[in-house]
C-alpha cells in the first residue's frame, strides 16, 4: 500500500517478532512483521486461528512488548517502554472493543463509558457530559442508566464502542467486534464502525469473518505468524 | 487530588455493588474491635466507681505528719513547717492542723455524762484547709482570718457529728468543749481522703491556744497540694525541707495512693481478654485477605479492561487497597459502637460505672484500618500483577 510521504503513520511495526517460551518449546507467534497504520485507515486483519492475529493485536494495543523489532505509536517508540509508560500510551492513543464486550457489570452504561476517562484530571461534570455525548454517538443516550444485564448484546457492544471513543483515540482496535452478535446486530455495529471513519482516526478490526473483512478498505491476511497479503479491498 | 477522588469513587462503588461480600468483609474488623473495646471497657468499668473517685479527688495530695519519736507524747512539726513546705517548688498550697488531746465535746452541758465516753477529735485548723482538701461546706462558713486574729470561740463540725448532735443547717447553736461554749458556724462536707474529719470539730489556732494549750501552737499535720504528677518527688523533698536534718522524724504520705491501687483494673484479666480480641481481629484480617483474593479472581475481566483503558498497575493496586481502607474505617467504627453497646449492657447488668478511656475509640478504628490494609495488600498486589492480555482473552 502506498501513502503520501508527508504523512506520518499512527503506528509503525518494523521487523516485529513475538516469541513465547524458549528452546524446544519455543513458539514463534509473530515472525518479522512490518506494517504501518495510517491516519484514516480502515483495516481488517484476517487469518485462521493460530495465525498470530491475536498476538499482533496485543502488540498493536500496547498490551504486550515484542521479542524483537521496533514499534512506534503516535511518534513514540514503545518497544522497550516500562509497563506504566506503555499503559499511558495505551490510554492516550488506543481504544479497544472486544468480542465479549467486557463491560463492568456493576456499573451502568454511563459509568462504563466514564471509566475510560478516570485518572485523567477530568472534572466529574465534564466526564459525565463527554460520556453522554459518546453514548449519543452510538444511539444509546436514552439508556445511559441501564446496567449491562439490562442491555441486549448489540447494545452492550455499542456501549463498549462509546467507551472506546470517549477518549478520542487515534487508533480504534476491534477484536471480533461482531463475533458474539446475531447478524442484525452485527450489521448495526459494523455500520457504526464504518461511520466512525475519519482522517484523524484509524480503525483496525481483527476478524476471521471474510464478509466483515471485506467491508474494510484495507485487508491484511496472516498465516503462521507472517503477513501474507496487505492490500486494498475491491468494493 | 482528582486521581484520589476518582479512586475513592471507584472503590466505594465497587463495595456498594457487592453488598453481601462487603458485609462479610466488615464483620472481621468489626467483631475484633468490638471484642477489644468491650474487654478493656468492662474490666475498667468494674472499678469504675473507684476510678471516678480518684479522678475527682486528684492524686496530688500529700500528707505530712510528725512521726512519734521517743519520749514525746504528741509528735509535733516545727512551728514554721508551712513556710518550710512552701520552699519546695512543686508545692502549690499547704494547710495545717493540730490535733488537741483530751477535750470533751458535748452538745450541751446536761448531756455531758452521755457523751463523756465518746471521743470526738478536736483540731485547730487554719483558714485554707477546705481549699487544700478541695471540699465544700454543707452549711455556714469555714473559720476565717477574723476568728483567728480575735481568738473567737467558733467551731466548724463534720457532717456525721452534726447529725449526732442533731444540728440543723443554719441553726444558731453552741456546743461545749471542756465546758466552753463554742458557736457552730459551719458544717464541713465529707472528706473522702480523710474520713476522720467527718466526726471532728475544727476551731481556730488562737482559740485553741487560749483555751486548751499552754505551749506553742505547732501543727502536727500538713496537707499539701503539689503539681500533678510530681507527688513522689514532692513527698521526698518535703521530708527534707521540713525535717531539715533535725531530730524530728517526718512522714510524707500520698493520700490517694491506696485508693489508686484499689481502683486499678485487673491487668491480667484485661490482657487475656484483649489477646482474644486481637486474635479475633487477626482472623478477621485473614478473612479479608481470603474474600478479597477471591474477589480479584472474580473481577479479573474488570481489572483487564481497566488496564486496557489506561489504568496503571499502581492505580489498580490503590483501588483495591482503598477498598480495604474503607472496610477498615467502617468496620472499625461499627466495632467501636458495638463494643460500647457491650460495655453499656454489661455495666447496666452489673451495676458498675461506665468507663471507656478516650483513646480506645480512635485506637480501635486505627487497628481495624491497619489490619485491613495489611490483609488487603496481598490481593491488591495480585490484582495489579494481572496481565490484561491474559484476562481479556483476545482473538
Percent of chain B with pLDDT over 70: 96
Percent of chain A with pLDDT over 70: 97
| Element (DSSP H or E) covering residue B94 | strand B91-100
Using CA coordinates, name the residue in chain B closest to A61: B308
pLDDT tens track for B47-64? 877 777 777 777 888 888
Residue B72, pLDDT above cutoff 60:
no
pTM: 0.71
- Of the partner residues B14, B304, B311, the one whose CB lies closest to the CB of residue A118: B311
Residue B262, pLDDT above cutoff 80:
no
Q: How many CA atoms lie within 13 A of B342 on its CB side?
A: 20
Average pLDDT over residues A125-153: 95
Please list every residue in chain A whose beta carbon sits closer than 8 Å to the beta carbon of residue B387.
63
Does the CB of A64 have a partner CB in chain B at under 8 Å? yes
Burial A113-142, CB ≥16 within 10 A → b, else e: bbbbbbbeebeeeebbebbbebbebbebbe
Q: Specify the pLDDT at position B246.
A: 65
Per-residue pLDDT band for B285 (boundaries 50, 70, 90) equals: very high
Q: Specify the pLDDT at position B139.
A: 87
Does the CB of A159 have a partner CB in chain B at under 8 Å? no
Q: Closest Cα of chain B to A126: distance in Å?
A: 13
Does the CB of A83 have a partner CB in chain B at under 8 Å? yes
Does the CB of A38 have a partner CB in chain B at under 8 Å? no
Burial B306-334, CB ≥16 within 10 A → b, else e: bbbbbbbbebbbbbbbbbbbbbbbbbbbb
- Of the partner residues B305, B313, B314, the one whose CB lies closest to the CB of residue A102: B305
pLDDT tens track for B74-99? 778 888 888 888 888 888 999 999 98
CB B380 within 8 A of CB B11: no
Task: List residues in chain B touching A: CB distance below 8 A.
Answer: 2-3, 5-7, 10, 13-14, 17-18, 301-302, 304-315, 387-389, 392-395
Cα separation, B121 vs B153, whole angstroms: 17
Q: Specify the pLDDT at position B274.
A: 87
> CB distance A176–B6 less than 8 Å?
no
pLDDT tens track for B149-162? 998 999 999 999 99
Cell numbers given for B331: 468496620
Does the CB of A199 have a partner CB in chain B at under 8 Å? no
- Of the partner residues A53, A63, A118, the one whose CB lies closest to the CB of residue B388: A63
Per-residue pLDDT band for A4 (boundaries 50, 70, 90) equals: low
Burial of A84 per CB tally in 10 Å (0-12, 13-18, 19+): exposed
Cα separation, A1 vs A7, whole angstroms: 14
Amino acid at each position: 500500500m502506498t501513502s503520501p510521504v508527508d504523512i506520518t503513520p499512527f503506528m509503525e511495526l518494523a521487523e516485529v517478532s513475538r516469541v513465547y517460551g524458549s528452546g524446544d518449546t519455543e513458539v514463534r507467534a509473530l515472525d518479522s512483521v512490518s506494517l504501518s497504520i495510517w491516519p484514516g485507515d480502515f483495516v481488517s486483519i484476517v487469518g485462521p486461528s493460530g495465525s498470530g492475529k491475536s498476538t499482533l493485536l496485543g502488540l498493536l494495543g500496547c498490551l504486550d512488548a515484542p521479542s524483537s523489532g521496533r514499534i512506534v505509536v503516535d511518534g513514540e517508540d514503545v518497544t522497550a517502554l516500562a509497563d506504566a509508560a506503555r499503559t499511558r500510551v495505551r490510554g492516550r492513543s488506543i481504544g479497544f472493543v472486544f468480542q465479549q464486550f467486557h463491560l463492568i457489570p456493576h456499573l451502568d452504561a454511563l459509568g462504563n463509558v466514564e471509566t475510560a476517562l478516570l485518572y485523567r484530571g477530568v472534572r466529574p461534570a465534564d466526564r459525565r457530559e463527554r460520556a453522554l455525548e459518546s453514548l449519543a454517538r452510538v444511539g444509546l443516550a436514552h439508556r445511559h442508566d441501564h446496567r449491562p444485564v439490562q442491555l441486549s448484546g448489540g447494545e452492550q457492544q455499542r456501549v463498549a464502542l462509546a467507551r472506546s471513543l470517549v477518549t478520542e483515540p487515534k487508533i480504534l482496535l476491534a477484536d471480533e467486534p461482531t463475533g458474539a452478535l446475531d447478524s442484525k446486530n452485527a450489521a448495526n455495529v459494523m455500520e457504526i464502525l464504518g461511520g466512525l471513519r475519519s482522517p484523524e482516526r484509524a480503525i483496525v478490526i481483527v476478524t476471521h469473518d471474510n464478509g466483515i473483512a471485506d467491508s474494510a478498505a484495507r485487508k491484511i491476511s496472516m498465516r503462521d505468524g507472517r503477513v501474507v497479503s496487505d492490500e486494498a479491498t475491491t468494493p | 487530588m482528582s486521581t484520589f477522588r476518582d479512586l475513592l469513587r471507584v472503590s466505594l462503588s465497587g463495595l456498594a455493588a457487592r453488598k453481601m461480600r462487603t458485609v462479610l468483609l466488615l464483620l472481621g474488623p468489626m467483631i475484633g474491635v468490638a471484642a477489644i473495646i468491650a474487654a478493656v471497657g468492662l474490666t475498667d468499668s468494674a472499678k469504675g466507681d473507684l476510678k471516678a473517685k480518684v479522678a475527682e479527688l486528684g492524686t496530688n495530695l500529700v500528707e505530712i505528719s510528725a512521726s512519734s519519736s521517743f519520749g514525746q507524747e504528741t509528735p509535733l512539726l516545727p512551728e514554721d513547717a508551712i513556710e518550710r513546705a512552701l520552699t519546695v517548688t512543686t508545692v502549690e498550697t499547704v494547710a495545717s492542723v493540730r490535733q488537741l488531746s483530751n477535750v470533751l465535746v458535748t452538745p450541751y452541758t446536761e448531756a455531758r455524762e452521755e457523751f463523756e465516753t465518746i471521743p470526738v477529735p478536736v483540731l485547730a485548723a487554719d483558714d485554707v484547709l477546705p481549699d487544700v482538701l478541695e471540699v465544700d461546706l454543707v452549711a455556714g462558713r469555714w473559720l476565717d482570718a477574723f476568728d483567728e486574729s480575735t481568738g473567737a470561740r467558733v467551731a466548724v463540725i463534720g457532717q456525721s457529728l452534726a447529725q449526732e448532735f442533731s444540728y440543723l443547717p443554719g441553726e444558731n447553736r453552741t456546743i461545749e468543749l471542756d465546758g466552753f461554749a463554742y458557736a457552730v458556724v459551719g458544717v464541713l462536707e465529707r472528706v473522702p481522703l480523710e474520713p476522720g474529719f467527718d466526726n471532728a470539730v475544727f476551731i481556730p489556732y488562737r482559740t485553741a491556744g487560749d483555751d486548751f494549750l499552754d505551749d506553742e501552737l505547732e501543727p502536727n499535720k500538713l496537707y499539701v497540694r503539689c503539681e500533678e504528677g510530681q507527688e513522689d518527688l514532692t513527698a521526698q523533698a518535703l521530708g527534707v525541707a521540713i525535717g531539715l536534718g533535725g531530730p524530728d522524724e517526718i512522714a510524707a504520705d500520698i493520700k490517694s495512693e491506696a485508693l489508686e491501687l484499689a481502683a486499678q483494673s485487673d491487668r491480667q484479666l484485661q490482657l487475656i481478654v484483649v489477646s482474644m480480641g486481637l486474635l479475633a481481629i487477626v482472623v478477621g484480617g485473614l478473612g479479608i485477605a481470603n474474600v478479597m483474593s477471591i474477589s480479584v479472581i472474580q473481577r479479573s475481566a474488570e481489572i483487564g479492561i481497566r488496564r486496557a483503558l489506561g489504568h496503571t498497575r499502581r492505580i489498580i493496586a490503590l483501588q483495591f487497597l482503598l477498598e480495604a481502607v474503607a472496610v477498615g474505617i467502617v468496620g472499625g467504627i461499627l466495632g467501636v459502637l458495638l463494643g460500647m453497646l457491650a460495655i453499656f449492657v454489661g455495666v447496666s447488668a452489673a451495676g458498675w460505672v461506665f468507663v471507656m478511656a478516650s483513646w480506645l475509640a480512635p485506637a480501635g478504628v486505627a487497628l481495624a484500618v491497619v489490619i485491613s490494609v495489611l490483609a488487603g495488600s496481598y490481593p491488591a498486589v495480585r490484582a495489579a500483577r494481572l496481565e490484561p492480555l491474559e484476562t481479556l482473552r483476545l482473538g
